[in-house]
């Protein structure tokens, strides 16, 4: 049987590259931005390969301004891992220190009744193209870039050690799954034993489960944790609609907090099955209904039936994965806000969320305000939230999640 070491064909040993950038690229690095695009590079070794350590020198004074990892296949040609304000040796200790720092940032969350969290949030924790999520005693590492292959073994060892996980699962993005530069498979258990691919965990005292082998991303979406807790606490005795419910995050918190009735709406029947299963992991007496179908059409159908809910949560997937989709995304968000208003009862709460990083928070909140102002009912904006504590944001593009709470006064 292959060991984890055997699975990474890091036969290729990374070398050092001397890099020089144009003025714009240099300024981005000096300001701490983690991305260097190919069109910013004016000088690089001819034999540069993915995973090589890129040492970036200033254009004029020839001093080191940053260290990154070279990615030959991406327009983001260098992913930064260190700025040159302090000296660094890129080795196992360097990565271990970064992981310990990331873990320390999560301590406030881990004092709550929660054993699921994002330990590494890509660029924002100094690991561009790498995500590490913990579900109870299972650590799930997801790779989005080959730059990490030469360094992966000590990094995974440190992640397991710092998180005190008993099992480590490797998940791979589609481009990594199609790569010939390693022997890893998506869903490989690379450390410990996984008795069941569906792992149970706790989020603010509520029981959930995630399929860490086949589930989307690493198995669950941890970023909305604080919003789910808040909506749950507001749901006692209420009738709740959870649109784009996926595995029932908002729904289950509402049920566990004593909601009278919760309706989970999602296009995926499989996701709704998981939502029902997650609900059953907790004690609740309310009714859990599910609707499978296109959210826009199903919401319109509910409006025609004169359905109204005390709390309506609308948390769609990303509508703008590229620049050209931004305007269409905004139209969809506007449509959802309008539909949501019509489904929200008198004195009810409408919760609107976006995970499209290309639609900026201010733009999203302004759009919601404009759409709701155009309706005939009075409302007040009671809260605007962003990422939870385990999703720190250290550069503009790292901020994607935003959520607005709107209370109708009539």
* pLDDT tens digits, 148-168: 999 999 999 999 999 999 999
Express each pLDDT in 340-358 by its tens digit.
Answer: 999 999 999 999 999 999 9
> What pLDDT does 295 receive?
97
Give the residue with greater pLDDT, 181 vs 251. Answer: 251
- pLDDT-based confidence at 181, cuts 50/70/90? confident
CA torsion through residues 92, 173, 330, 389, sign: negative
Q: Alpha-carbon distance 336 to 314, whole Å?
A: 7
Average pLDDT, integer, range 124-134 = 97
> What pLDDT does 12 receive?
59
Q: Alpha-carbon distance 132 to 175, whole Å?
A: 18
What percent of the chain is modeled with pLDDT above 90?
88
What does R_g of the chain's alpha carbons equal in angstroms?
A: 23
Whether the pLDDT of residue 44 is over 90: the answer is yes
What are the DSSP calls for 79-137, one per residue?
A: EEEEETTS----SHHHHHHHHHHHHHHTHHHHTSS--EEEEEEGGGGT-TTEEEEEETT
DSSP state of 409: -
Q: Number of H helices and number of E strands within the chain?
A: 12, 20
Vertex 345, ends 339 and 351: CA angle to 5°?
55
- pLDDT-based confidence at 87, cuts 50/70/90? confident
> What pLDDT does 393 receive?
95
* Residue in the structure block whose two tokens are 């870039």: 145
For residue 185, the tally of other CB atoms under 10 A from its CB is 12
- pLDDT-based confidence at 2, cuts 50/70/90? very low
Q: Alpha-carbon distance 253 to 384, whole Å?
A: 20
- Cβ(231)–Cβ(254) below 8 Å: yes
- pLDDT-based confidence at 410, cuts 50/70/90? confident
DSSP state of 192: S
Express each pLDDT in 283-329 by its tens digit.
Answer: 999 999 999 999 999 999 999 999 999 999 999 988 888 888 999 99
């Amino acid at each position: 049987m292959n060991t984890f070491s055997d699975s990474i064909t890091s036969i290729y040993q990374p070398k050092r590259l001397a890099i020089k950038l144009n003025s714009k690229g240099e300024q981005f690095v000096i300001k701490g931005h983690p991305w260097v695009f190919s069109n910013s590079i004016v000088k690089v070794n001819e034999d540069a390969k993915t995973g090589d350590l890129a040492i970036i020198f200033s254009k004029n004074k020839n001093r080191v301004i940053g260290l990154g990892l070279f990615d030959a296949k991406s327009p983001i040609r260098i992913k930064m891992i260190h700025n040159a304000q302090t000296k660094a040796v890129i080795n196992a200790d360097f990565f271990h220190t970064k992981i310990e720092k990331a873990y320390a940032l999560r301590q406030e969350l881990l004092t709550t009744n929660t054993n699921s969290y994002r330990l590494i949030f890509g660029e924002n924790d100094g690991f561009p193209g790498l995500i590490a999520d913990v579900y109870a005693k299972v650590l799930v590492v997801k790779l989005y870039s080959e730059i990490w292959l030469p360094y992966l073994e000590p990094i995974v060892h440190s992640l397991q050690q710092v998180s005190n996980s008993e099992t480590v699962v490797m998940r791979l993005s589609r481009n990594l799954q199609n790569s010939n530069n390693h022997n890893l498979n998506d869903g490989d258990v690379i450390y410990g034993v996984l008795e069941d691919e569906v792992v149970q965990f706790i989020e603010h005292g509520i029981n959930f489960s995630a399929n860490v082998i086949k589930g989307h991303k690493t198995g669950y979406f941890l970023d909305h944790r604080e919003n789910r807790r808040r909506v749950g606490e507001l749901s006692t005795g209420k009738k709740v609609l959870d649109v784009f419910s996926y595995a029932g995050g908002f729904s289950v918190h509402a049920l566990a907090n004593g909601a009278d009735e919760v309706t989970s709406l999602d296009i995926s029947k499989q996701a709704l099955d998981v939502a029902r299963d997650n609900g059953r992991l907790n004690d609740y007496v309310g009714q859990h209904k599910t609707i499978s179908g296109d959210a826009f059409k199903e919401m319109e159908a509910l409006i025609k039936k004169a359905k109204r809910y005390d709390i309506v949560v609308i948390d769609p997937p990303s509508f703008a994965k590229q620049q050209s989709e931004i305007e269409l995304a905004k139209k969809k968000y506007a449509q959802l806000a309008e539909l949501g208003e019509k489904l929200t009862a008198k004195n009810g709460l409408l919760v609107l969320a976006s995970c499209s990083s290309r639609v900026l928070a201010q733009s999203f909140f302004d759009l919601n305000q404009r759409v709701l102002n155009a309706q005939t009912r009075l409302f007040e904006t009671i809260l605007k939230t962003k990422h939870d504590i385990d999703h720190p944001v250290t550069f503009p593009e790292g901020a994607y999640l935003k959520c607005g709470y709107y209370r109708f006064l009539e």
